[in-house]
Amino acid sequence: MNRVRDNYRAVAFDLLSALLNSWSLWNRVARSDQIGLRWRQRYLELTYAAGAYSPYEGIIKDAAADVGVPVTQAEELMQRWGEIEAWPETRRVLRPLGETVPLAEVKDSSIALAGVALACTGMSVPTVVTAEEAGFYKPDPRPYRMVLNRLGLQADQVLFVAGSASDVPGASAVGMPVFWHNRMHLASLDSAVRPRYEAETLLPLLDMFSVVKTDGHRES
């Protein structure tokens, strides 16, 4: 990928999919990779269609009920939220990237669970927007616009790193260029809207911004 540091003045991330491997926790709680995947995909469908904010914890329970997961396991998932693991390269990318440009996170969640999930990255990110604060779930434009307002930047100045498929058309619709960290090989929701960049790992961001890696070497 070409280096683009001069084009972007900040990077905003989806949290649960782009920076964290939330998929594995859902599978563990469901006691089945197949059921966990169906549960997680149904949850994504419900948040994508939700529009105005309704309690995030309720959406998790509704998704569980829709795929036959007991409510006790939905409650267990929320109790174990702090067990969500970062992707192997998350800290390796965030630390040097955060020394280069401001970082932000836009999360479809309640304020409380967003705080727990953010701690799982092992990093402090000063600008965080949740669906609860914005009053709407992504891909409604309001969460994206809120993070732009807090950063004080124009849409084309902020690279959005998506994890879920819905963030590709969502962030694109407000004018944000999108890097899709498509680790799970998800299908696009809108074939007419493509991300500017797509990769199975976060590591290309180091090269894109010409940042120094945590081992002291410059990515080349």
For residue 32, the Cα-to-chain-centroid distance in whole angstroms is 23
Q: What is the mean pLDDT of the segment spanning 183-194?
A: 88
Residue 137 has pLDDT above 70, yes or no: yes
Beta strand segments in the chain, E: 10-14, 20-21, 85-86, 103-107, 127-130, 158-162, 178-181, 197-199
pLDDT of residue 134: 97
Residue 113 has pLDDT above 50, yes or no: yes
pLDDT of residue 135: 97
Domains and CATH numbers, the chain: 5-21+84-208 (3.40.50.1000), 22-83 (no CATH)
Residue 213 has pLDDT above 60, yes or no: no
pLDDT of residue 190: 81
pLDDT of residue 100: 92
> Distance (Å, rounded) from C-alpha 35 to C-alpha 28?
10
- Mean pLDDT (the chain) is 91
Would you place residue 214 in the very low, low, confident or very high pLDDT band (cuts 50, 70, 90)? very low
> Distance (Å, rounded) from C-alpha 167 to C-alpha 193?
11
Residue 4 has pLDDT above 70, yes or no: no
Would you place residue 173 in the very low, low, confident or very high pLDDT band (cuts 50, 70, 90)? very high
pLDDT of residue 215: 46
Tens of pLDDT, residue by residue over 49-95, are 999 999 999 999 999 999 999 999 999 999 999 999 999 999 999 99
The pTM score is 0.91
pLDDT of residue 7: 80
pLDDT of residue 6: 52
Tens of pLDDT, residue by residue over 26-56, are 999 999 999 999 999 999 999 999 999 999 9
